[in-house]
Chains A and B, each alone.
Chain A
């Protein structure tokens, strides 16, 4: 076997199943880097992606029709490489049956042609949603020719799921990565507009709660330095309200911490690498992760890393990196690299005289240092469920049940909606300051 895992001196026809550029996504970038390496080595490569992209074929491996298309295509290839992660294999299915059928087709493919599975961020507890899915995934993972993960921790987890009798390779995450920037550090700083004299801490990537960028900002608030800066760079992966709320919270938090800045925006590979090049320290305050592409980009440019001790990060980090187990350790590590000390951000207790003072100080500190009204969460109106089903018989039965129970359900819905409306009115008064105040006539 050569360094790419292919038969030495033999040029294979390889089918790669993956999300793919120009979609901006870590797995898509990883897959394209591997495809480039395979092409340069002389192999014939074609790519299947679930949505139209630069791939040659479009088929969703999470759906039965897509998986059977891939099965048909696979006959013409010597080897199939599949990027395995939950969103990719399960998100597209229209029903459980569709998902099981798709997994069945992929298992059938492993009996027809050698299949290499590249396993990314697979949460085995999520597979426990149904026994059938669990069994099928286990079978798929066991029946493939090879399966690889990026860290020993992932290897251990996968072993606990499929057993130790089939080999699991650990492949370096950054194996195929190349720099997307040819700038020097000074040029990258100029391009980004960062002062050459500053110590730059960088947290970069999609803005998601599990990335813990908020922890980084809070810890940075205690770094006793006028010349250190923390830059959080990235955007939400999709415009989901949940993610947008988190991005807004990060923006609020960064705005209240001196020398911390959130640069929210859609980021290309070049800008991504320029930020890493321009930084002095890359900070990964992750709450959960299996392995990180950011670590590999930082390693590529020899930038020191501070990371939390989660998932497989400990073994993925290059030598000299700092691993932290708490926010306090994170703060001390940042301060150490900035050549200064760390002090827990002051909650303001020293001036407290009453229980109210202490309560206010606690609340203020808890929200990052500045008191502000909590965001009001609106409750959506309730509407009766649609009594219908595409399945024969089920539709009429649902409609019958709906009619029979309407006299009980409808008043409850009306009552809840009435309460919701009153709450909204009250929330509006609070938000615009028109609500009743003490001492006001």
Chain B
């Protein structure tokens, strides 16, 4: 624990959710940075909502101020209204229709809003040296990020999705003091959509190597020691989870002897034919997740909407092969650079990848070996924090 150095100033991180039981890649990156900055003597505040669940946005955590280690957390109540308006406009946006600006505004302001958080920043923005908002798509980033753009650093966590192309996001991105990207493809996408920004940097996300995971205990916990593939995260259509279910169903029908273990949030719905081959751990501790990564024959990343994919890095650090959807430019970029994973375009290819790890677990483990080195060389937590700190320090220094 290091002492606060007042000369560094106060930095605010604004994620839509924050807490030990919050599942979300961008939220995890922000939490990691908040604690990293606090460790380095910055006064750090997290300005966030009371929500844990990003579907309902129910106020789960108590409002007010709490201390999370060296990080001060201020929580504000969510307001959810006019959902029907959002639902009415969203299909046009997803289809890529030319949706008028005023409809885009309506869509953005319907559903989740956090007026108390917005007014807190309106009143106190001058007290912060930097206000870091992430990810771009949430109201917290969109609305709060435009209050004091000259202090605002946006970590967009951008995916190539129709929403990213909406003109309403241009002021947030183009006016920001600086932009932090998690990967080269994300930066390239931002440049394509928003044009070049005078202050931007690819910083990546820091991933810590886990302490020796207790694989034996995990095997005991799940009650079998045959090969399985693992998926951790949001079990929802948008994250590609249904692709895994479809591929598993076909693979099992074709006699592939493999199971699926999954953790995270969202309901796991599978056909009866594979029910006995799917283990839902629900929300698990970091230790259990690390052990599952290490025990698995492969980690499956079916999402096309990734701006970094922390779980892929965790799988590689655990020495596990990654099977990923080529549709995510970012994950494909990681896999091609590391040479420690397999990519698929269609469910049929995913089935074949599952068959491979079931038939050749030893070879799968050998192929995964370069992954750990790739993560350590590129995403060591300290190195990433150095990059972020030096950029924020440079961009927000008084002129």
Q: Which residues of A contact B (CB under 8 A)?
A: 21-24, 32, 35-36, 39-40, 45, 47, 51-56, 58, 180-182, 184, 190-191, 235, 238-239, 265-271
Chain B hits for A54, CB < 8 A: 113, 115, 118-119, 143
Closest to A32 in B: B122
Tell me if B81 and A52 are in contact (CB < 8 A): yes
8 A Cβ contacts from B106-134 to A = 106, 108-110, 113, 115-116, 118-119, 122-123
State the CA gap A108–B55 with chains docked (Å). 41
Tell me how far the C-beta of B144 lies from the nearest C-beta in chain A, rounded to whole angstroms.
Answer: 9
State the CA gap A55–B176 with chains docked (Å). 23
Closest to A58 in B: B81
Q: Using A21-B146, A47-B115 as known contacts, list a sample of 14 further A-B pairs with CB atoms less than 8 Å apart, ordered by residue number in A.
A: A21-B118, A21-B147, A22-B108, A22-B109, A22-B142, A23-B109, A53-B113, A56-B116, A56-B119, A182-B399, A184-B399, A265-B167, A268-B175, A269-B146
Q: List 7 A-B contacts (CB under 8 A).
A: A22-B108, A52-B110, A180-B148, A182-B150, A266-B167, A268-B149, A270-B175
| Also in contact, A180 and B171, with CB within 8 A (given A23-B105, A35-B119, A266-B101) | no
B100 in the interface (beta carbon within 8 A):
yes
Closest to B122 in A: A36
| Also in contact, A268 and B150, with CB within 8 A (given A238-B101, A238-B102) | no
- Mark B267-289 against chain A: 1 for CB-CB distance below 8 A, else 0: 00000000000000000000000
State the CA gap A236–B396 with chains docked (Å). 33
State the CA gap A184–B398 with chains docked (Å). 12
| Also in contact, A266 and B150, with CB within 8 A (given A22-B105, A52-B113, A55-B115) | no
B223 in the interface (beta carbon within 8 A):
no
B170 in the interface (beta carbon within 8 A):
yes
Chain A hits for B106, CB < 8 A: 51-52
Tell me if B170 and A21 are in contact (CB < 8 A): no
Tell me how far the C-beta of A45 lies from the nearest C-beta in chain B, rounded to whole angstroms.
Answer: 8
B91 in the interface (beta carbon within 8 A):
no
B82 in the interface (beta carbon within 8 A):
yes
B168 in the interface (beta carbon within 8 A):
yes
Chain A hits for B69, CB < 8 A: none
Tell me how far the C-beta of A277 lies from the nearest C-beta in chain B, rounded to whole angstroms.
Answer: 12
Chain B hits for A55, CB < 8 A: 115
Size class of the B contact interface (CB-based, 8 Å)? 35 or more
Chain A hits for B147, CB < 8 A: 21
Main secondary structure of the interface of A (DSSP, over half): loop
State the CA gap A56–B105 with chains docked (Å). 17
Most buried by A among B108, B115, B198: B115
Q: Which 9 A-B pairs have the closest CB atoms?
A: A268-B171, A270-B175, A268-B175, A270-B149, A239-B100, A54-B118, A39-B123, A52-B109, A22-B143
8 A Cβ contacts from B295-320 to A = none
Tell me if A267 and B171 are in contact (CB < 8 A): yes
| Also in contact, A190 and B198, with CB within 8 A (given A22-B142, A269-B149, A269-B171) | yes
Q: Which of B109, B142, B150 contacts A51 (CB 8 A)?
A: B109
Chain B hits for A40, CB < 8 A: 123
Tell me if A181 and B150 are in contact (CB < 8 A): yes
Tell me if B150 and A239 are in contact (CB < 8 A): no
Tell me how far the C-beta of B114 lies from the nearest C-beta in chain A, rounded to whole angstroms.
Answer: 8
Most buried by B among A22, A39, A266, A269: A22
State the CA gap A239–B102 with chains docked (Å). 8
| Also in contact, A21 and B149, with CB within 8 A (given A182-B399, A266-B170) | no
| Also in contact, A269 and B109, with CB within 8 A (given A21-B146, A181-B150, A184-B399) | no
Tell me how far the C-beta of B99 lies from the nearest C-beta in chain A, rounded to whole angstroms.
Answer: 9
State the CA gap A315–B194 with chains docked (Å). 39
Chain A hits for B119, CB < 8 A: 35, 39, 45, 54, 56
Tell me if A270 and B171 are in contact (CB < 8 A): yes
| Also in contact, A180 and B198, with CB within 8 A (given A53-B113, A239-B101, A266-B168) | no
Tell me how far the C-beta of B225 lies from the nearest C-beta in chain A, rounded to whole angstroms.
Answer: 53
Chain B hits for A269, CB < 8 A: 146, 149, 171, 175
State the CA gap A270–B118 with chains docked (Å). 18
B376 in the interface (beta carbon within 8 A):
no
Most buried by A among B100, B147, B399: B147
State the CA gap A381–B365 with chains docked (Å). 69
Chain B hits for A181, CB < 8 A: 150
Tell me if B100 and A238 are in contact (CB < 8 A): yes
State the CA gap A338–B100 with chains docked (Å). 39
Q: Which of A39, A52, A190, A268 contacts B170 (CB 8 A)?
A: A268
